[in-house]
């Protein structure tokens, strides 16, 4: 095990990390996009992005795109490289505001968090479409870990914290249980070669209807490329 520092809330840090990783000339068989914040007060990343959207979504969008070439070189016909992105059931109530992705007009911690998680699902589906169109031996899937007892809830209202403290043993998954579907997506032979799936409790399930809107997927992808400063070569693909 080797640790390399990467701050997903910093585009500069992500690019530095990718340079360090590439310098090692290592293959990359599994990429898990799992960083996140939830219900934080209105604030911005160092790049000026609303924190939920900047860290939860744009950080992973940039990281994945910068590592795509390595992933494509690492995958084979019999053993695809795998991209697993961790979303949330919150995406079912999320709305994507393409004209206000930074929530400048009206900020709601719940709305901003749900939007970032919906964006991750849209991103995964569009990414899989592009990987398939290019004939790449890479799959992209999105995971819902469920309600997990972690420090992610530190910004919720104090009453919710008390209820969580009293009931976590009954209703919340342990971190190990919460990680099980991500691990399943990363290593299980059952999903070898299968991409564009929404997985919950180690099973494929249906995501929000809006997540299957291919036009919305394309528009989000194009706008995301502009925001993080990378070429949108995908816009030329169907």
**Contact between residue 27 and residue 73 where contact means Cβ atoms under 8 Å apart:** yes
Catalytic-residue membership of 113: yes
3-state DSSP call for residue 42? coil
3-state DSSP call for residue 85? strand
Q: How many residues does the chain have?
A: 238
Q: What is the DSSP string of 157-173?
A: -HHHHHHHHHHHHHHSB
Cα distances (angstroms) measured from residue 197 to each of 129, 149, 157, 172, 174: 11, 25, 33, 24, 24
Which residues of 17-166 form beta strands (DSSP E)?
A: 30-33, 81-86, 138-144
d(CA 238, CA 236): 7
Angle 53-232-114 (CA atoms, 0-180°, nearest 5)? Answer: 20
Which entry of 92, 113, 184, 198 is annotated as an active-site residue?
113
Cα distances (angstroms) measured from residue 144 to each of 45, 70, 118, 163, 188: 25, 26, 11, 22, 16
Enzyme catalytic residues:
113
């Amino acid at each position: 095990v080797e640790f390399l520092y990467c701050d997903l809330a910093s585009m500069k840090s992500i690019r530095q990390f990718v340079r360090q990783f590439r310098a090692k000339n290592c293959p990359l068989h599994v990429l898990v996009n799992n960083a996140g914040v939830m219900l934080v007060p209105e604030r911005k990343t160092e790049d000026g992005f609303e924190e939920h959207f900047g860290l939860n979504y744009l950080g992973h969008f940039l990281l994945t795109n910068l590592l795509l070439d390595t992933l494509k070189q690492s995958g084979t016909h019999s053993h695809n490289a795998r991209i697993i992105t961790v979303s949330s059931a919150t995406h079912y109530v999320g709305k994507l505001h393409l004209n206000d992705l930074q929530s400048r007009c009206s900020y709601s911690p719940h709305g901003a968090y749900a939007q970032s998680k919906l964006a991750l699902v849209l991103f995964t589906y569009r990414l899989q479409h592009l990987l398939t169109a290019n004939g790449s031996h890479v799959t992209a899937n999105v995971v819902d870990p469920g309600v997990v007892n972690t420090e992610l809830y530190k910004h919720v209202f104090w009453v919710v914290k008390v209820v969580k403290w009293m009931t976590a043993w009954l209703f919340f998954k342990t971190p190990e249980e919460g990680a099980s579907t991500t691990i399943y997506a990363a290593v299980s032979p059952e999903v070898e070669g299968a991409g564009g799936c929404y997985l919950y409790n180690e099973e494929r399930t249906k995501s929000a209807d809006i997540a299957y809107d291919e036009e919305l997927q394309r528009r989000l992808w194009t706008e995301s490329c502009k925001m993080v400063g990378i070429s949108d070569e995908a816009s030329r693909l169907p």
